[in-house]
Structures are given as C-alpha cells and as structure tokens.
C-alpha cells in the first residue's frame, strides 16, 4: 500500500498499515508549515456553541501519563459552527471539508500525533473510497491570537501565529499543541480534498 495509490478508506480499514506508511512518509518527505494568508475572524457568541469533550487518548499516550485531566480538548463540530465561520472557510481551496473548532483550555496538551481522517470519513463514506491522502489538504485557521504559553508544533516547526492566520501542513506531519497560558486557544481544523492539483 502507498498513500498515492490507495484510498483514504483503505487506510482507515488498515490502521497498522496506516501508521507504518506514515512513518515512511515522515522519514522521506519534508515537513513544512505554509502560511496561506490572514482571514478576518467574524464575531460569534461563544456561549451559543455546542461544545463537546473530544479528548482522544490512546493506549500509547496513556502509557506516558496523558489523561483526561491534562489532555482535555473541547470541540465544536461542523454542523454546529456559526454560519459566519463556515462562510469564511468556504473560501479556502478545498472541497468536501470537515471543519472542527478546537478549544484548548489552560493546562492541557494534545500529544504528538497524526490525524487518521476518521471523522472526515464518517462525514464522507462514499468519497473516502475515491480519494488518496495525496488528494487532501490540511488547514489550521487560528481564531485567537497566540498568547504566552500557547503552542502548535508541526514536526520540529513551532508556529507563530496571529488571529486569522491560515496555515497548511502536510497530512503526514506529526503535530502537537499545548496551552500553558491563561486564555483559551481557539482554532478551526479544516480537512478536505484539494480543488486544484
């Protein structure tokens, strides 16, 4: 199997092959962070959001001491995002998007990981059989300014952002985030299919 020829769905059904191939990609492909521009963040009422706990812990991460108390991550799913935010995201170079707002409160981390695209596959079960990982785009849109203690690391690249910045990272990039500050860190993750190859 390889990421250029086999579909996202095939890898979703073969998690061991997925992680083996991810390691190969990480060893052989460059890790980069590409700033695509700055997009105005419209006002929205935070209190109206349907925030859900989406803490994801694996056996691997819990073996290293990560738990519900230090790796908590709240999210707002695409269908619950304010229309004004979704409208801005519709201008990104992507089709078939899956958008999630991440809310990382002070004192929490997300351990280093790669995204499996499971939630994108849940949203697009037919399309996951038509596209490969090399057809994809992975964007992060920062909804708040970086504060002291906020981090977002892609490979060995530490992103320095301001509110509204949109960055692209390769699908195979290990990334991790932390909030050692005193304010929530807000961003939207956009996974989708590139519109132009």
How many whole angstroms separate alpha carbon 89 and alpha carbon 78?
A: 11
Other CB atoms within 10 Å distance of the CB of residue 192: 23
Strand-by-strand arrangement of the 150-154 sheet: 108-113, 175-179, 150-154, 157-158
Report field, pTM of the whole predicted structure over 0.85: yes
| Nearest-angstrom CA–CA distance, 176 and 49 | 24
The H or E element containing residue 81 is: none
Q: What is the CATH number of the domain that holds 78?
A: 2.60.120.10
Q: What per-residue confidence (pLDDT) applies to 31?
A: 87
What average pLDDT does this structure show over 165-180?
A: 96
Biggest alpha carbon–alpha carbon distance for the chain: 45
Determine the structural domain holding residue 53 and report its residue range: 8-193
Per-residue pLDDT reduced to its tens digit, 18-33: 999 999 999 999 888 9
pLDDT one-digit tens code per residue, 183-194: 999 999 999 999
Confidence of residue 197 (pLDDT cuts 50, 70, 90): low
Indicate if the pLDDT at residue 196 is higher than 80.
no
Across the chain, mean pLDDT equals 95
For residue 1, tell me if it sits in a domain.
no
Sign for the CA dihedral angle at 189, 91, 80, 186 comes to positive
**Whole-angstrom Cα distance, residue 107 to residue 121?**
31
Give the per-residue pLDDT at 59: 81
- Domain tally for the chain? 1
Q: Across-strand partners of 140?
A: 167, 189
pLDDT confidence of residue 46: 87
34-65 exposure pattern, b = at least 16 Cβ within 10 A, e = fewer? eeeeebebeeeeeeebeeeeebeeeeebeeee
**Euclidean distance between CA atoms 147 and 38, whole angstroms:** 17
Q: Is residue 60 part of a domain?
A: yes
Q: Is residue 3 part of a domain?
A: no
């Amino acid at each position: 199997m390889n990421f250029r020829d086999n579909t996202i769905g095939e890898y979703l059904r073969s998690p061991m092959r997925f992680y083996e191939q991810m390691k190969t990609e990480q060893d052989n492909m460059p890790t980069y962070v590409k700033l695509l521009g700055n997009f105005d963040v419209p006002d929205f009422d935070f209190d109206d959001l349907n925030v859900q706990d989406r803490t994801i812990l694996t056996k691997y991460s819990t073996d290293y001491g990560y738990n519900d108390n230090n790796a908590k991550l709240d999210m707002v799913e695409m269908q619950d995002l304010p229309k004004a935010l979704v409208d801005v995201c519709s201008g990104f170079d992507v089709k078939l998007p899956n958008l999630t707002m991440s809310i990382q409160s002070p004192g929490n981390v997300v351990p280093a990981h790669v995204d499996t695209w499971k939630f994108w596959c849940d949203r697009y079960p037919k399309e996951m059989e038509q596209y490969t990982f090399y057809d994809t785009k992975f964007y992060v849109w920062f909804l708040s300014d970086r504060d002291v203690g906020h981090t977002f690391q892609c490979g060995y690249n530490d992103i320095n952002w301001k509110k509204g910045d949109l960055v692209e990272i390769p699908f195979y990039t290990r990334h991790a985030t932390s909030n050692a500050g005193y304010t929530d860190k807000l961003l939207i993750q956009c996974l989708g299919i590139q519109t132009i190859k």
